[in-house]
C-alpha cells in the first residue's frame, strides 16, 4: 500500500445561499420542519446551464494551488457525481478539458454520498499499480436540475403560483435536503509512509437490493424509447426513513470492522469526517461508536447535502482552518444511494 495522503484541497459553492424560509415561499415546508430534522439552514444552487464540471473547476484549481503544483502534474482524475453534465459522457473528462489536461485519464465513479471512501480506495489502488502518482479526486453535484420548484419565484423572492407550489410540495422531502457544490483533494503517496503515515486502509460495501431507497427511475436504458417517461419518474424517489435506519446501523459497523482489521482503537481517531446527509444521522453514528461529538465536525447547516462533495468540502474547511495536523488519525465514512457505504483510515 502506497499510503496516500492529501497534499492539497479546495471547494466551491455556486451563487447565493437560499434559506429554509426561501424554500417555504415555493412549496409547503418550513424552517421548523427542516432544521430540527436535518441540521440544514441554507444551501446553494447551480445556475441554469452551469453543469457540474463547471462547479468543480474552481474547487480543483484551488486544490492544485494549495498543493503547490501545476495542473500538468496531475496524472489522473477521479470524479464523483450523481448529477453529471450529460447522461454520457462522464464529467471527469469535461473537468480535465477545463483544466487543460488533454490526455490525462479521468474516471467517473458512481457512489453518490459514499464517494470519498471509494475514491480513496481507487486512488490508492492506482498508485499501488504504478498507474498514477498525483491524483485529483473531485466530488461535485448540481442537484438544482432536479429541484421541482418555480425557479423564477425562488430567485426573485416572490411566491410561486398554486400549480407550481403544489408540484414542488409533492417532492419536498427530497428537495429540502440537497445543495450544490464541489470539493477537491489532491492525493500523493505520503513521504513518511514507511513509518505508517498516509492511507491505512479502506472498507467499502454495496447492497444493490436496496437501490430503490434512493434512485431516479427514468433516464436509464431499461426501456425502449427511454426518453418517453412520466415527469415524476425523472425526479429522485427517496425512502427517507429506511435510508436513515440503514445509515445509523451500517456506518458504525463498517467503522468498527475497519478499525479491528487494522488494529486501530476508536479512541485514537482524532477526526471522524462523515458524509453530511443529516446531523441526526451523524449524531446517532458517533453515539453508537461512543466517540465525542466534537470529533465529528458538521457543516451541513451552510451547504445541505452536496452528496459526493460533502467530505472533500469538510476536509478543505478543516485544512484551511489549520485543524488537520501532521500525525492525526482521520476516519472518513459515508453511505449513499446504491446502496454504497464505506470508511477509510488515514494518518496525516
Ligand X SMILES: CC(C)(COP(=O)(O)OP(=O)(O)OC[C@H]1O[C@@H](n2cnc3c(N)ncnc32)[C@H](O)[C@@H]1OP(=O)(O)O)[C@@H](O)C(=O)NCCC(=O)NCCS
In the complex, minimum distance from the CB of residue 282 to ligand X, in angstroms, rounded to a whole number = 10
- Catalytic residue, from 20, 44, 113, 331: name it: 113
Q: Which of 15, 31, 33, 229 binds ligand X (CB under 6 A)?
A: 33
In the complex, minimum distance from the CB of residue 207 to ligand X, in angstroms, rounded to a whole number = 13
User: Is 143 annotated as catalytic?
Assistant: no
**Could you say which residues in the range 197-216 bind ligand X, by CB under 6 A?**
214
Joined together, the cell numbers standing for residue 238 give: 427517496
Place of cell 504504478: 130
User: Is 187 annotated as catalytic?
Assistant: no
Task: Compare residues 137 and 274 and give the one whose CB is closer to ligand X.
Answer: 274
Q: Which of 37, 155, 193, 295 binds ligand X (CB under 6 A)?
A: 37
User: Is 190 annotated as catalytic?
Assistant: no
Q: Does 241 bind ligand X (CB under 6 A)?
A: yes
Q: Does 179 bind ligand X (CB under 6 A)?
A: no
Q: Does 244 bind ligand X (CB under 6 A)?
A: yes
Task: Compare residues 209 and 265 and give the one whose CB is closer to ligand X.
Answer: 209
- Catalytic residue, from 197, 305, 331, 340: name it: 305
Residues 320-339, mask of contacts with ligand X (x by CB under 6 A): ----------------xx--
User: How far is the CA of 20 from the CAs of 29, 34, 75, 153, 292, in angstroms?
Assistant: 8, 7, 41, 14, 29
**Could you say which residues in the range 73-132 bind ligand X, by CB under 6 A?**
113
- Catalytic residue, from 44, 197, 275, 340: name it: 275
Q: Does 29 bind ligand X (CB under 6 A)?
A: yes
Q: Which of 182, 277, 315, 331 binds ligand X (CB under 6 A)?
A: 277
**Could you say which residues in the range 125-164 bind ligand X, by CB under 6 A?**
none
Residues 280-309, mask of contacts with ligand X (x by CB under 6 A): -------------------------x----
Which residues are known catalytic residues? 113, 275, 305
- Please report, as ranges, the residues that interact with ligand X according to CB under 6 A: 29, 33, 37-38, 113, 172-173, 176-177, 214, 238, 240-241, 243-244, 277-278, 305, 336-337
Amino acid at each position: 500500500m502506497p499510503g496516500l495522503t492529501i497534499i492539497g484541497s479546495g471547494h466551491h459553492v455556486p451563487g447565493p445561499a437560499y434559506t429554509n424560509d426561501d424554500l417555504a415561499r415555493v412549496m409547503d415546508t418550513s424552517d421548523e420542519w427542516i432544521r430540527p430534522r436535518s441540521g440544514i439552514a441554507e444551501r446553494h444552487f447551480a445556475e441554469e446551464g452551469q453543469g457540474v464540471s463547471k462547479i468543480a473547476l474552481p474547487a480543483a484549481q484551488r486544490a492544485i494551488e494549495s498543493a503547490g503544483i501545476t495542473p500538468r502534474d496531475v496524472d489522473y482524475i477521479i470524479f464523483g457525481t450523481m448529477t453529471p453534465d450529460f447522461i454520457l459522457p462522464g464529467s471527469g473528462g469535461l473537468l480535465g478539458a477545463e483544466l487543460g489536461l488533454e490526455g490525462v485519464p479521468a474516471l467517473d465513479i458512481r457512489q453518490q454520498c459514499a464517494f470519498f471512501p471509494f475514491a480513496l480506495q481507487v486512488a490508492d489502488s492506482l498508485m499501488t499499480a504504478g498507474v498514477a502518482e498525483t491524483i485529483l479526486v473531485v466530488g461535485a453535484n448540481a442537484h438544482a436540475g432536479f429541484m421541482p420548484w418555480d425557479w423564477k419565484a425562488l430567485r426573485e423572492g416572490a411566491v410561486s403560483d398554486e400549480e407550481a407550489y403544489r408540484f414542488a410540495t409533492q417532492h419536498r422531502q427530497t428537495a429540502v435536503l440537497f445543495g450544490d457544490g464541489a470539493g477537491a483533494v489532491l492525493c500523493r503517496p505520503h513521504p513518511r509512509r514507511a513509518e505508517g503515515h498516509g492511507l491505512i486502509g479502506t472498507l467499502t460495501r454495496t447492497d444493490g437490493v436496496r437501490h430503490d431507497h434512493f434512485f431516479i427511475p427514468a433516464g436509464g436504458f431499461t426501456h425502449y424509447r427511454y426518453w418517453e417517461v412520466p415527469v415524476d419518474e425523472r425526479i429522485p424517489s427517496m425512502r427517507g426513513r429506511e435510508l436513515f435506519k440503514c445509515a445509523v446501523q451500517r456506518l458504525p459497523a463498517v467503522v468498527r470492522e475497519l478499525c479491528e482489521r487494522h488494529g486501530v482503537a476508536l479512541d485514537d481517531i482524532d477526526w471522524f469526517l462523515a458524509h453530511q446527509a443529516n446531523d441526526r444521522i451523524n449524531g446517532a453514528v458517533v453515539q453508537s461508536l461512543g466517540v465525542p461529538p466534537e470529533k465529528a465536525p458538521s457543516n451541513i447547516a451552510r451547504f445541505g447535502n452536496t452528496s459526493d462533495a460533502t467530505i472533500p468540502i469538510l476536509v478543505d474547511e478543516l485544512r484551511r482552518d489549520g485543524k488537520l495536523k501532521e500525525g492525526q488519525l482521520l476516519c472518513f465514512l459515508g453511505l449513499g444511494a446504491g446502496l454504497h457505504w464505506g470508511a477509510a483510515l488515514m494518518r496525516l
